[in-house]
Structure 1
Amino acid sequence: MKIRGGVLEEIGRSRPYASSLPISVSELELDPPGNGEVLVKIEAAGLCHSDLSVVDGNRVRPVPMLLGHEAAGRIIQVGEGVDDLVVGTRVVMTFLPRCGECAGCAADGRLPCTVGGAANNEGSLLGGAHRLRRGSGIVKHHLGVSGFATHAVVNAKSVVVVDDDVPPDIAAVLGCAVLTGGGALLNAARPLPTDTVMVVGLGGVGMAAILTARALGVETVIGVDALESKLAQAVEMGATQVFTPASLTKSGLRADIVVEAAGNAGAFEAAVAATAPGGTTVTVGLPGPHARSSISPLGLVAEARTIIGSYLGSAVPARDIPIYAQLWRDGKLPVEKLISSRITLDDINAGMDELADGKAIRQVIMFD
């Protein structure tokens, strides 16, 4: 079938992206779902730094690639061997499918799926299939989803069912921002209400961590970001205190649990330094592969501190997304606060500029 989607043509084009147009919105051919796959009509897709990191070259992926990994839509066709999903169901896409058989899948979310990770790196679906074409050439899949399009074929293990009462824009954001930022707390750190939680880096993932901390009953939640505008937004999300990195250093404040969600070496160092004795640093940001940080091993030992790396919030999506959906339903997790604007697919290059400038938390592409 013919679809319309946003294809990254070249990595590392100059900014502004609204002028250099690294992503072309064009017509493609989408093959029908194969064994174990489903065809989804996309309803909403969020712009995330993991998309931007491919555009700017921080994360090198094969191109041309149809971007987008945080999305929701309705199943309109199921392939052979799919017995637990039905046409008409709303689903959330998840960007790391789990094969269910490797050692990573046996680690209850602590480790990523080895098979899913390999497929993501290659630009294929789980199992190695490619369903996107343009002319005679293959277009690569982004993290098994390729959600910046009117339709997507994905492996059935890349989707999680949500009820119809969860709107598509909310459902989309559950699939990455909330899974990652929320999971840093729900799965990795597991705070008590009396713990002090600090979040360093207030993009979509960091703001989701603040929302989740409050949803879990944490009383003291601290937001840290270099952009003053983000600090005011963090208060709206439920932060009880906010700091710039400089003012945090000056204050000497430290927290029991510190979530690093900025994805750069300096933020990681700041997060470790701000972790109190006996406390835990959870890093969910994804810096460039050559980034390096310097920390004091003695400080870790003498103060009995712990550092946890948490990919996708140490999530098992099929287990965790229903938890977040219920917290949203109960009014405890106001995910709608993360959505800074709703845009069209044609706005995608300008949207990447907004993301790079730190002006947006979550822009969501809405499809008819």
Structure 2
Amino acid sequence: MSTAGKVIKCKAAVLWELKKPFSIEEVEVAPPKANEVRIKMVATGVCRSDDHAINGSLFTPLPAIIGHEAAGIVESIGEGVTTVKPGDKVIPLFVPQCGKCSPCKHPEGNFCLKNNVTKPRGTLMDGTSRFTCRGKPIYHFIGTSTFTQYTVVDEMSVAKIDADSPLEKVCLIGCGFSTGYGSAVKVAKVTQGSTCAVFGLGGVGLSVIMGCKAAGAARIIAVDINKDKFVKAKEVGATECINPRDYEKPIEEVLKEMSGGGVDFSFEVVGRFDTMVCTLKCLEISASAF
């Protein structure tokens, strides 16, 4: 039986208070309004930004359904939607693409002026929510809200993907992969034959390595204190893997010796001040840091 045009009751992880555990609740998800899309979520990742929302370092109105790194299938669409249809596989976009503002039109820009990241309002573009729970409205999170079986997003916050895409894998494209790969290819613009250092071999760090490899880097030196990550790092393109704990001297000096004076590009994917300093110090003087 079709659910189009009807309220859907489903399970969702609701964050009622900061620094408190999620509560698995039955929520009501209203049908999409004009220029909106309702999605059946199939897979979602957990990103550090979600944790930032939980601990309050990234503000979002509460109570809310968090989550932004996901993939799913379009369940129904509102009036005026033309880019997707029911049954399409899609990825929600926490940075929307209106296609009309100056950043969207710029060949190197993508930070749409209609984004909900810098000034979180907790609603869709019309200023209202599609979620309710226990008789109360529940806020959206940066236009996506993926920790739920069904969500509603604005049409500009969704991207259609290939029908053969494995949703449990491509959900990472929504944030983690694009952040890492894009930092190498789009931001740093890693050059052919260059030497790169990547500090941190989590999902984003591995994506940086893939980006460096795709850009043609000759050497990609992966750095992490967890040696168990080295096998996967080499599988995706690292040419060497080193553990700072194996050396008596600072790791930036080790990298400078390995690279003959300093690496060309260096990426910090840990989020610690000390590793950021190392990332800068291991560079050749004329090189770039990210």
TM-score category by the smaller chain? Answer: 0.7 to 0.9
Letter in 1 for 2:15: L
Distance 1:108 1:262 in 2: 29
Q: 1:252 to 1:170 in 2, by over 3 A?
A: closer
Tell me, yes or no, if structure 1 residue 187 matches structure 2 residue 183. Answer: no
Contact 1:3 1:151 in 2 (8 A): yes
Tell me, yes or no, if structure 1 residue 281 matches structure 2 residue 289. Answer: yes
Tell me, yes or no, if structure 1 residue 270 matches structure 2 residue 273. Answer: no
Q: What is the TM-score with the length of structure 2 in the denominator?
A: 0.86
Paired residue for 1:251?
Answer: 254
Distance 1:10 1:242 in 2: 41
Distance 1:26 1:251 in 2: 51
Distance 2:44 2:103 in 1: 27
Structure whose residues are more often helix by fraction: 1
Q: 1:34 to 1:162 in 2, by over 3 A?
A: same
Tell me, yes or no, if structure 1 residue 132 matches structure 2 residue 131. Answer: yes
Give the deviation of 1:243 after TM superposition. Answer: 2.8
**Superposition pairs for residues 274-353 of structure 1, below 5 Å?**
274-282=282-290
Give the deviation of 1:134 after TM superposition. Answer: 1.0
Give the deviation of 1:54 after TM superposition. Answer: 1.9
Paired residue for 2:268?
Answer: 260
Give the deviation of 1:2 after TM superposition. Answer: 0.8
Tell me the secondary structure at the aligned position of residue 141 of structure 1. coil
Which structure has the bigger radius of gyration?
2
Paired residue for 1:143?
Answer: 142
Give the deviation of 1:42 after TM superposition. Answer: 0.9
Distance 2:286 2:40 in 1: 48
Contact 1:120 1:144 in 2 (8 A): no
Tell me, yes or no, if structure 1 residue 208 matches structure 2 residue 207. Answer: yes
Contact 1:130 1:140 in 2 (8 A): yes
Give the deviation of 1:189 after TM superposition. Answer: 1.7
Tell me the secondary structure at the aligned position of residue 185 of structure 1. helix
Letter in 2 for 1:4: K
Tell me, yes or no, if structure 1 residue 71 matches structure 2 residue 79. Answer: no
Give the deviation of 1:215 after TM superposition. Answer: 3.1
Distance 2:49 2:201 in 1: 15
Letter in 2 for 1:69: H
Question: What is the CA deviation profile of residues 221-275 of structure 1, one whole-angstrom value per residue up to 9, with x for unaligned ones?
Answer: 1112343433444233321122345642341423211122223333322222222
Contact 2:116 2:143 in 1 (8 A): no
Tell me, yes or no, if structure 1 residue 5 matches structure 2 residue 8. Answer: no
Distance 2:223 2:276 in 1: 12
**Which contiguous aligned blocks of 4+ residues in structure 1 show a shift greater than 4 angstroms?**
none
Distance 2:73 2:105 in 1: 29
Tell me, yes or no, if structure 1 residue 162 matches structure 2 residue 161. Answer: yes
Q: 1:137 to 1:169 in 2, by over 3 A?
A: same
Tell me the secondary structure at the aligned position of residue 209 of structure 1. helix
Q: How many residues align?
A: 274
Contact 1:120 1:143 in 2 (8 A): no
Contact 2:44 2:67 in 1 (8 A): yes
Q: What is the TM-score with the length of structure 1 in the denominator?
A: 0.69
Contact 2:124 2:140 in 1 (8 A): yes
State the superposition RMSD in angstroms.
2.1
Paired residue for 1:319?
Answer: none
Tell me the secondary structure at the aligned position of residue 73 of structure 1. strand
Q: Higher RCO, 1 or 2 (CA under 8 Å, sep at least 6)?
A: 1
Structure 1 range deviating more: 201-210 or 270-279: 270-279
Q: What are the ranges of 5 or more consecutive residues in structure 1 without an aligned counterpart?
A: 14-21, 283-368
Q: What are the ranges of 5 or more consecutive residues in structure 2 without an aligned counterpart?
A: 1-7, 257-261
Paired residue for 1:171?
Answer: 170
Tell me the secondary structure at the aligned position of residue 179 of structure 1. helix
Paired residue for 1:53?
Answer: 52
Q: 1:155 to 1:67 in 2, by over 3 A?
A: same
Distance 2:127 2:271 in 1: 29
